[in-house]
Amino acid sequence: MAVRFDLPVILFASILVTVFSAIAAADYPDPCTRPCKEGGKRMVCRYRWVLENYLTLSRACYDCPARANQTDCLRQQCVAADGVQRSIRTINRQIPGPGIQVCEGDTIEVEVINQMVMSEGVTIHWHGILQRHSPHMDGVAMVTQCPITASSKFTYRFRADDPGTHLYHSHSGLFRGDGLFGSIVVRQPKSRDLQHDLYDLDLPEHVLVMTDWSHRPVVDLYAVFFHSRKFESQSPDSILINGRGVYPPTREVLVNRTTMTPFAQFHVQANRRYRFRLINAGALRCPIEFSVDDHHLLLIASDGRPFVPFSVTSVLMFSGERYDFVLQTRASESGVYWMRARGLDKCERDSVQQFAILKYTDHITQDVIKYPDAPMNYDTPTTQDEVRFNQWFLKKSDEPEPDEHAQITNMTSLEPDDDSLRNDPDQRIFLEFAYRLRPNYHFHDPVLYPARGAGYKTVSSTMINNISNSLPPAPILTQLDDLQPDTFCNFDTMQHRNCSHEFCECTHRVVAREGEVVELVIYNSNDQDGYTHPLHLHGHSYRVVAVHRFTEKITRERFIEMDRKGLIDRRLHAAPYKDTLPIPNGGFIVLRLKADNPGTWYMHCHVALHAEIGMALTFQVNKADGDLPASPPDFPRCGVWPIVRHADDVDTNSDVKGSQDENSSGNLGEHFSDGSWIFGVLAALVFMNIVLVVTSAILCKGKVDSSRSRDLHVHTCKSLRLQGAKARTGCVVSEDERTTLI
């Protein structure tokens, strides 16, 4: 009996000791992770990443979490996650992938080696890095480059010109949700950091990457969501913080279990000000509310851009957003506190959440083990001076008013006004984001189980201006000449189609010229009970000049009418910069940017599913001479194969009726009356193509060279083993090679 009581205590002891020593031992071996000095050396920071299909709780985990010692969970190449086994995708067998931390002006060079079997192509996008002068390095499959096919490699090389907290993730199919993501932090010398006096310490380990986490591969989750007979949730099961957590994260589990995966831990000392960098790398519909028990968060920057600081008790973050905050630690403490990551929106119903530990370290408590005593309920403990930042974005019509006094409008940019804030933009682009029922052949069969059939579960389509984006058969930036002009479409070119009823699918593109000031009016016409979609634009940060929500339905005409009457209040002074911003359900956002970065820039909802099935477009910025930037020499190209688009071959105009008259509902029944299985197979293939970017059919030439997989693999494993703690950073190149001056 006594043993039973003591066991958890021993367990707690072992966890904290091992986590702490692991952090201490790592000691930041990456020479690029350094204090940044004005006039300091610029470095070339090289990394080699091997992307693989992998497993949580693999052989590398030995007995994790099967006995009362967590050491095994912290072994190299052990992805413990939240203690549930599933198949994953990894970079160097880590989740998150290796963090990159450099100084502004350094050059980042990442050799990406695709060792994922089954022929799937992959790319890596550097979310928040604007890729000025390097648009070909943006990493969007079929927009800026060909996917890197299996057993091939590609080297990304770009200057770290955008200071702040960023992330990287795969940008082809849904791999991001399976583990292909990580952090990039670009630091500045004190002299260039407008906020350096707000904090004492900006430590490499104070980066928190939060992600929603499903216990099955995201592609399975979506297959079920789209094709199952009854409604199935697309919600994640869990959240991971820096790849760690416990499932389910409850006090009961903490007390009853003799084995458990470790929580992420962050160490601080009393009476200091720490800069923390918070990233939501999620792939699903799970905005995350982050808070630290008994501490305030002084928000200072978002998406890499500084603003006038203000203090909150929690920050709500959508997928792709980053917030930096300063944590003022308590005066004389030696305690432990919960850091809470609470999933809202779809995640609220299932109380999806995770915890991490904030631990005050001092000579007395360093080795004494304790979990916070505070409750581990889904509901955050309320405090008197509660300020929940950005709850406004999630308001539903039947909910009480959220905290209107802590929202995006409270952000005042610290950077000087620029041309984008002038009164009259050169171009105004209206974009309607919506989720509506269409006879979408990806999820329905117009005859066998039509979109509007009685008794069927129907699946809506995600669209911008009633167009579902599909990727072109060759990358727009590098192979524009290979693409038929009718590959592309937009609101104007689709006027001859009945897209308010039909399913309209094509490569959605809007065009601007270098130097133009563009105003984006983006509205979300699903009402207040609909979805709030996080909008991400590549290649540009934008100023947020207006955010508003309507009680009645919003349309393009209504906006124009209100604008004409002067009812749209634009903030043309000190408007904050963002690159990822929620579009409130039933509301609109007005954004301003100067199109000063020629290239093809993806603009999309950052919920992976929504983007992959159509809520995306390409914002093409032509150079002043009308051309796109020329590709670097020897840039990989891919073969152009015929596009398969259902709408091209078959007339979908029919607003298919119920199942009773299925045999007489238009052309489809006739065309395929004795072979509808072919249609099904075709539809399935197209669907797979879009969701996975299956590239086995695409022949890539040039720099993407076939590599002898076994050699590479052995080499990398060797490097990881030999370099010990150094391998934690994923940097497997010797110091000499890395410190090239540029």
Ligand X SMILES: *[C@@H]1O[C@H](CO)[C@@H](O)[C@H](O)[C@H]1NC(C)=O
**Would you tell me which residues interact with Cu ion (CB under 5 A)?**
533, 605, 607, 610
CA 634 to chain centre: 30
Q: How many Å is the Cα radius of gyration of the chain?
A: 25
Nearer to ligand X, 68 or 221 (CB): 68
Give dist(CA 344, CA 328) in Å, integer: 26
Contacting ligand X (CB under 6 A), which of 85, 397, 551, 663? 663
676 binds ligand X, rule: CB under 6 A: no
For residue 610, the minimal CB distance to Cu ion (Å) is 3
Report the alpha-carbon distance of residue 635 to residue 157 in Å, rounded.
12
Bridge partners, 152 (sequence order): 114, 706
246 contacts ligand X (rule: CB under 6 A):
no
If contact means CB under 5 to 8 A according to the sort of partner, which of Cu ion, ligand X, none does residue 501 touch?
ligand X
Distance CA 147, CA 699 (A): 10
- Report in angstroms how near the CB of residue 467 gets to ligand X at its nearest: 9
* Cβ 69 to ligand X shortest distance, Å: 4
Identify what 610 binds: Cu ion, ligand X, none; CB under 5 to 8 Å per kind.
Cu ion
Q: Which does 466 bind (CB under 5 to 8 A by kind): ligand X, Cu ion, none?
A: ligand X
Query: 493 or 555, CB closer to ligand X?
Result: 555
Partner that binds at residue 133, options Cu ion, ligand X, none, CB closer than 5 to 8 Å by kind: none
Give me the least distance between CB of 530 and Cu ion, in Å please. Answer: 10
In the bound complex, what is the minimum distance in angstroms from residue 421's beta carbon to ligand X? Answer: 20
Query: Which of 498/706 has CB closer to ligand X?
Result: 498
Which residues, 490 to 549, sit near ligand X by CB under 6 A?
A: 498, 500-501
Q: How far is the CB of 91 from Cu ion (least distance, A)?
A: 25
Please, what is the minimum distance in Å from the beta carbon of residue 162 to ligand X? 26
**Could you say which residues in the range 277-336 bind ligand X, by CB under 6 A?**
310, 312
Supply the minimum distance, in Å, between the C-beta of residue 365 and ligand X.
17
Spatial CA neighbour of 306 closest among 422, 393, 196: 196
Neighbours of 620 (CB within 10 A): 21
Q: What are the tokens at 412?
A: 């005042």
**Min. distance of Cβ 615 from Cu ion in angstroms?**
5
Question: Which ranges constitute the DSSP H helices of 502-577?
Answer: 556-564
Minimum CB–partner distance for residue 96 and Cu ion (Å)? 22
Q: For the window 361-390, what string marks contact with ligand X as x by the rule CB under 6 A?
A: --------------------------x---
Contact 571, 284 (CB under 8 A): no
Name the binder of 500 from Cu ion, ligand X, none, CB < 5-8 A by kind. Answer: ligand X
* 248 versus 702: smaller Cβ distance to ligand X: 248
Would you count residue 406 as binding ligand X (CB under 6 A)?
yes
Range list of β-strands (E), 65-151: 87-91, 100-103, 107-114, 124-127
> Taking CB under 6 A as the criterion, which residues in 431-490 touch ligand X?
432, 436, 465-466
Is 237 within 8 Å of 286 (Cβ atoms)? no
Answer for which of 272, 405, 457, 718 binds ligand X (CB under 6 A) is 405
Residue 625 interacting with ligand X (CB under 6 A): no
Q: Which is nearer to ligand X, 498 or 734 (CB)?
A: 498
Query: Within 302-394, where are the H helices?
Result: 346-349
- Contact between 71 and ligand X (CB under 6 A)? yes
Q: Which two tokens stand for residue 526?
A: 């699903």
* CB of 321 closer than 8 Å to CB of 286: no
Look at strands 207-213 and 181-187 and give their pairing.
unpaired
- The residues, any chain, with a CB within 8 Å of residue 299's CB and separated by 6 or more, are 307, 309, 310, 311, 312, 315, 323, 324, 325, 389
- Give yes or no for residue 106 binding ligand X (CB under 6 A): no
> Binds 30, which of Cu ion, ligand X, none (CB < 5 to 8 A, cut-off by type)?
none
Distances in whole angstroms, Cα of residue 96 to Cα of each of 148, 184, 207:
20, 11, 11
Do you find a cis peptide bond into 96, omega within 30 degrees of 0? Answer: yes
Residues 542-561 vs ligand X: string with x where CB under 6 A? -------------xx-----
The smaller minimum CB distance to ligand X, of residues 190 and 436, is found at 436
Q: Which range of residues in 228-236, 288-296, 404-412, 512-520 is near ligand X by CB under 6 A?
A: 404-412
Q: How far is the C-alpha of 615 from the C-alpha of 603, rounded, in Å?
A: 9
Neighbours of 631 (CB within 10 A): 18
Closer residue to ligand X, CB minimum distance, 423 or 495 = 495
Q: Does 252 bind ligand X (CB under 6 A)?
A: yes
CA 122 – CA 126 distance, rounded (Å): 13
Answer for the pair 719, 727: CB distance below 8 angstroms, yes or no. yes
* Rounded least distance, CB 436 to ligand X, Å: 5
Preceding amide of 65 cis, omega within 30: yes
Residue 36's binding partner among ligand X, Cu ion, none (Cβ under 5 to 8 angstroms by kind) is: none
> Cβ of residue 494: shortest distance to ligand X, in angstroms?
9
C-alpha to C-alpha distance for 478 and 328, rounded to whole angstroms: 48
Q: Which stretch binds ligand X (CB under 6 A): 40-48, 159-167, 276-284, 402-410?
A: 402-410
- Dig out the tokens for 213 from the structure: 């986490």
β-partners of residue 543 are 577, 592
Helices 218-227 and 676-692 meet at what angle, rounded to 10?
A: 140
Binding site for ligand X (CB under 6 A): 14, 69, 71, 252, 255-256, 310, 312, 387, 405-406, 410, 432, 436, 465-466, 498, 500-501, 555-556, 655, 662-663
